[in-house]
Amino acid sequence: MSLPTLEELLALRGAAHGLSLQHQRRARAALLGAHASAQRGRGLEFQEVRLYTPGDDPRSIDWRVTARRGRAHTKLFHEERERPVWLLVDLQPGTFFGSRRQLKSALIVRIAALLAWTAALEGDRVGALVADGLAPPRILPARARLAGVLPLLETLLAVQPQAPAPPVPQALPDALRAAVPLIRPGSQILAVSDFAAPTAREEPLWLPLTRHNDIRLYWVTDPLEAQGLPPGRFRAGLPGRLAILDGQRVRSAWRDAWQAREQSLAHLSQRLAAPVARLHTSEPAEAALRQSLLGGPSAA
């Protein structure tokens, strides 16, 4: 399984055409953090006419509609503005694992790159916090177009794990702590992780970010994690710390642990009002993300 390269991530710009982050946006995000805001004023793109209410700018009264309907009506205008899109990318060493097409870490890198290209092509500013739990998260300020995407691609490649190592579940919480003072209301937050150990203790780290922001969770999984080992004896673990496992004997405990993980993430999704898109290492990144952005089934 090969690791992503800069050439591959640059080429994903083509795959991002036709994708959109606008689907399934929550009403709160549409009001506070979306591209468009309804404003009373002049010199903006016309949106609609509605009944005049006290406090409306008299200069926005539509006199033709007022004369025709016999009641004062005012114009609303449409203002386009950039929206910050922040990626929280979890590349802790435990993501260096895969039993199918690609490693989880490789899929995380590819999905993060695709999301960044998609946001940039829609005119959004792209910022990111990339964490591996071994050092402070890399913080990339939100910038427009290539200035937001290219530094992120280089950082993803630099931070991705290069070999098996013990998991560091602290990576995502570290990114959340760093994100709170950075991310302003009206942002879209896209977290890409394997969510290996979501716990109730992480919830307070998320809650400040839920205020007036649109949060989405992209859950990267490998089929072996859910299915467990097939019958037989297998060596499992890390170099120097390998153990022999009987697939049939450990299957029940394996699946119980997986179900607990699913339930924990479903609870977090519900508490945050954040949809979960489950992405599999057995699928190409473009296909997996396209399904989730076009309203495919979620994990929670």
235: Cβ contacts below 8 Å, ≥ 6 apart? 242, 243, 244, 245
Distance from C-alpha of 54 to C-alpha of 163, rounded to nearest angstrom: 65
Residue 189 and residue 201 in one domain: yes
pLDDT tops 70 at residue 245:
no
pLDDT score, position 54: 75
pLDDT digits (tens, 9 = 90+) for 67-118: 999 999 888 764 445 679 999 999 999 999 888 899 999 999 999 999 999 9
Greater confidence (38 vs 291) lies with 291
pLDDT digits (tens, 9 = 90+) for 135-191: 999 999 999 989 999 999 999 999 999 998 888 989 999 999 999 999 998 899 999
What's the number of domains the chain is made of? 2
**Domain for residue 299, yes or no?**
no
Residue 172 and residue 72 in one domain: no
Q: Which residues pair with 126 in a beta bridge?
A: 85, 143
**Domain for residue 300, yes or no?**
no
Which tokens go with 134? 């071994």
Residue 165 and residue 45 in one domain: no
Residue 87 and residue 214 in one domain: yes
pTM for the whole thing?
0.77
For 205-257, the DSSP string reads HHHHHHTT-EEEEEEEE-HHHHH-PPSSEEEEEETTEEEEEEHHHHHHHHHHH
Cα–Cα separations (whole angstroms), residue 175 to 87, 170, 179, 199, 241: 10, 9, 6, 15, 29
Mean pLDDT of the region 198-209: 83
Q: Find the domain containing 153 and state its range.
A: 6-28+83-293
**Domain for residue 280, yes or no?**
yes
pLDDT digits (tens, 9 = 90+) for 260-282: 888 989 999 998 999 999 999 99
Which of 221, 30, 27, 16 lies closest to 126, judged by CA?
A: 16
pLDDT digits (tens, 9 = 90+) for 44-73: 446 678 888 777 778 889 999 999 999 998
Neighbours of 62 (CB within 10 A): 18
**Domain for residue 16, yes or no?**
yes
Q: What is the CATH number of the domain that holds 210?
A: 3.40.50.410
